[in-house]
Amino acid sequence: MPVDSFAVFLRGHDVSFSPAEIERELSSMWKPVSEKVDTGEESGSVSRVVLGSLIWAGPEHAIERVRNTIAKLVPKYPCRLFLLEFRENQEGGGIQAAVNAQCFRPQPGGQPVCCEVISLTFGPEGARHVRGCVTPLLIGDLQTVLWDNFGEARPEGAESLDGEAERIIHQAARWKHPARGLERSLHSAVPAFDLAWFRLTPVREQVTAFFDDPHASFSLEGIRRVRVQTLGNVSDSALPEVMGALFVGWLGTRLGWEVATPHRSGFRYRSGDGHVLIEFDTMPAKGRDFLTQLGRIEMEHQSGERFHLTLNQEGGGMDLWLGEGHEGPPQRRLILSELGEADALGLALNTPWSAEPFRGAARLAVPLLEYYHPDAEAP
């Protein structure tokens, strides 16, 4: 059943920063409400649903994009949400706080279900108090996930949030040097992932299922060349390149590849019986609103056999076939696409994940990303 999603403020307003005052205001929001909500309907009582704590922390220029993602996320994963916005030029340099509710209807005409939103805005002097502001408001028996969107410019004091989370989500695609952003996840004391890893989940699962099928006629062992085509002009970040590098890194961990020195013909990995050449290129996309980041992945076996995986730009599906080209009918069709940012974040929050598969893929992806995408201007 489609979710009727909307944002609504229930007694929400700016408050003086005090954990006790914020908790009092949050508690008051869950009392029966008789006022009209934005839809013009009587809200009656609302249901409070909190499945965990999500902390988003990042710069001022990213807040609108994040709010749009959150609006799509909370109907599927209601949580106590912290929006920690850092403003270098905030007048007074202190801390501003506000509380409200993000609400949705599980079914048309049904009772609204709401989660809690705590917005904290930090000026240059307030940033060092981040941990002291957030820690008293965390819910002890529920998991906390930190969504770190700082990039290279992490303000003083923000690193103290790492120890408050069970899991950290980075976005290397929004770094000026995306390979460094991906590498940060490898050195985290807390299990850390990149959001691009979760966007690739359906691709990894379907490719795994195909090659684990004992009746598949194509073997990944003995691959000598992998070509990854990403879609240009579809993103204001390095997301296509990060996703492509993580896919290759994941494939390499499955096949036992090791990083080799760059070759004049391109980047190479060492396999058990030779080398694997990796090629990246960009093909034009038909519009900036198209969500798919990867266009096509081709793998060539030492026997000359080829495997093609193409993401359909129009339908969001994926064609998979074996053979010399794509003129003939596909041997097997996989109806899937990459996950959008909100769905990927929900998957990251709502599923227990081991960090080791991601770490293995990232270790192989970092040097590949450095080779093909050494520098990118973050938005």
Per-residue pLDDT, 197 = 95
Per-residue pLDDT, 183 = 92
Q: How far is the C-alpha of 175 from the C-alpha of 116, rounded, in Å? A: 29
Q: pLDDT below 70 — which residues of the chain? A: 1-17, 29-50, 92-93, 109-110, 213-218, 232-236, 262-263, 284-292, 312-336, 374-379
User: For the domain 201-372, what is the CATH code?
Assistant: 3.30.360
Phi, then psi, of 364 in degrees rounded to 5: -80, -25
Per-residue pLDDT, 3 = 32
Per-residue pLDDT, 233 = 56
Q: How far is the C-alpha of 206 from the C-alpha of 191, rounded, in Å? A: 25
Nearest Cα to 58, choosing from 88, 102, 19? Answer: 88
The answer to whether 145 and 54 are in contact (CB under 8 A) is yes
Per-residue pLDDT, 118 = 87
Structural domain spans, the chain? 4-165, 201-372
Sign of dihedral through CA atoms 248, 253, 254, 260?
A: positive
Per-residue pLDDT, 196 = 94
Q: How far is the C-alpha of 249 from the C-alpha of 361, rounded, in Å? A: 4
Per-residue pLDDT, 284 = 67
Per-residue pLDDT, 290 = 52
Helical ranges in 4-62 per DSSP H: 19-29
Q: How far is the C-alpha of 330 from the C-alpha of 378, rounded, in Å? A: 38
3-state secondary structure 243-306: HHHHHHHHHHHHHCCEECCCECCEEEEEECCEEEEEEEEEEECCCCCCCCCEEEEEEEECCCCE
Per-residue pLDDT of 245-256, as tens digits, reads 999 999 999 999
Per-residue pLDDT of 216-259, as tens digits, reads 666 788 889 999 988 765 555 788 889 999 999 999 999 999 98
Per-residue pLDDT, 323 = 54
